[in-house]
A and B are shown apart, each in its own frame.
Chain A
Amino acid sequence: MTLVDRDFQGAAGDAGTKDLASVQDTAGAERPLIELRQVSKTFGTVKALQDLEVSIRPGELVTVVGPSGCGKSTLFNILAGLEEPDPGNILRLKGVSSAASDLLGKVSFMPQRDLLLPWRNVIDNAILALEIEGMPRAEARKLAMDMLPEFGLAGFEAQYPNQLSGGMRQRVALMRTFLFKRDLMLLDEPFGALDALTRTMMQRWLLDVWQKHKRTVLFITHDVDEAIFLGDRVLVMTARPGRIKLEQVVELPRPRKANIVTSLEFISLKKTLLEAIEEESMKSFQVAGH
């Protein structure tokens, strides 16, 4: 509890550099946007998650790292409402107890692959979620057209996914997620498939867009640099069954410049996190070896 409190003040202090509205926003929201307590998930004989505890406050960007197969994707599927955790869990959305299925349509979810529809052009892919919500196409397209420049897609609205590069496809997918305006955005390794250079560009760009739009984000990655560079907090998950092993507050000032990754602070954070991850990776390795 103390950790959470301290951490909260840290976030509020951080917000001091942002505009006034967001300070009030953060200060007013004493309860977390979403809260998971004692969440477990079993698939047959495999325990993917055990007594997982996560809480995310409005406006936070929380990153999650962990060894492969630690149940990160299961956590995401629960938060997206696609999977129900084992009974006995506590799941609160804005303080209201909910079942995972209540979250369907309440969270904007971006999976690892862009999953663009090949028969829809950039604009129509971006407005997919809006269309499903029942917004008239013309209106949705207009909304999306205004967002194109910010996503580096101006002039590409009529292109089809097979005409786009990997980075652009990913930006279309992100735009689709942004247009589906929900309190919580879940990003599951969105840049995992991109080359290193494109990835750093996308990270910086994501921070810009996030700061402008003030959205709450949970971001899964296997890249520690990415987790620190983006996050207000980094959660390290244990090997299966997944729990939160370490909750690391990142107090690097925002806006973060690209060269922050070489700062001493960054490197000491990276050291702590890598040690924690290494320990867990070894465990899952040994389990696999048996």
Chain B
Amino acid sequence: MSGTATLAANLPVVSTGRIGVVLRPVLWLLLALVVVEAVVVVFGIRTYYLPRPSVIASTIMATPGAYLAGLWRTFLETALGFVAGSMFGVVMAVVFHRWQTLRELFFPLFIVSQTIPVIAFGAVVVLWFGNTLFAKAVISFYISFLPVTVNTMLGFSAVDPRQVQLMRSFGASDAQILRRLYLPAALPQLFVALKLASSLALVGAIVGEWFGDTTGLGVLLLQAMYNENVAGIWATIVVSACLGMGLYGAVSYAERRIVFWGGEQ
């Protein structure tokens, strides 16, 4: 009896965990949509302020190609910036971890770089790289690497020094200790940052598009705003939200697969 109880306790945690990650937000979203639809109808809110979800849906369905193209473009910019930013973030964490002097010299600069508003920075990037996909990716990159660096360093500092000593007593080199101990040990912290960075990278890409482009969710947002196409604005918001959730979900899924041991040290 107790055997089946432990089995029952073990299995559903894994299965509902995976399906739940995808299903639960979707269910909540549907529920929220129904509530919003009802509220708009019951209180007679004008479309100018808040269109009904069904109106938003039909706006998307009217020109699905434009939204899909925008989604794809923004996704590419975000993904490129996010991946590059994450890799750069981890590399910088390793560099700062290995060389204390570099950390003292440059880490403050990292923090300062983040106090420059991305809007101010965006104009420069577009001047440098033109109205390209790459320019948007650069903005995404800029906005997403710092949390990765900070959290990876946090993960490194949480490594038990006795663990390092043990590896040294086996004659391990610094590179071996980094690969077999520090990097895996920092993974739980790293994923916290990656989830944050995925959302930030999307913001970077959308804001980047405002500086000039022809496709992308940011462009759709601006066009709809200039045309006072409220349903269009909301439609873009919905598509952006889907993209954001998709990215976050993908990172969470990877986290569950990779950091299977949890935060246990």
Contact = CB atoms under 8 A, between A and B. Distances in A.
A160 B261 contact: yes
Interface in B21-67: none
Interface stretch (A11-19, A27-35, A106-114, A213-221): A106-114
Interface in B239-265: 260-262, 264-265
Interface stretch (B147-155, B160-168, B209-217): B160-168
Contact of A109 (B169, B187, B261, B264): B169
Contact of B170 (A77, A119, A128, A160): A128
Interface string A30-57: 0000000000000000000000000000
B162 A115 contact: yes
B165 A111 contact: yes
Given A113-B162, A115-B166, A118-B261, A105 B181 contact: no
Query: Which bucket holds chain B's interface residue count?
Result: 20 to 34
B176 interface: yes
A162 interface: yes
A195 interface: no
B187 to A, nearest CB: 8
User: How would you classify the secondary structure of chain B's contact residues: helix, strand, loop or mixed?
Assistant: helix
Contacts of B18: none
B172 A111 contact: no
A118 B160 CA distance: 13
Interface of B: 160, 162-163, 165-172, 176, 180-181, 184, 187, 260-262, 264-265
25 contacts: A77-B165, A80-B169, A82-B165, A104-B169, A104-B171, A105-B171, A106-B171, A107-B169, A109-B166, A109-B169, A111-B165, A113-B160, A115-B160, A117-B180, A117-B181, A118-B265, A119-B184, A128-B170, A128-B180, A132-B170, A132-B180, A160-B260, A160-B261, A162-B261, A162-B262
Interface of A: 77, 80-82, 104-109, 111, 113, 115, 117-119, 128-129, 131-133, 160, 162, 180
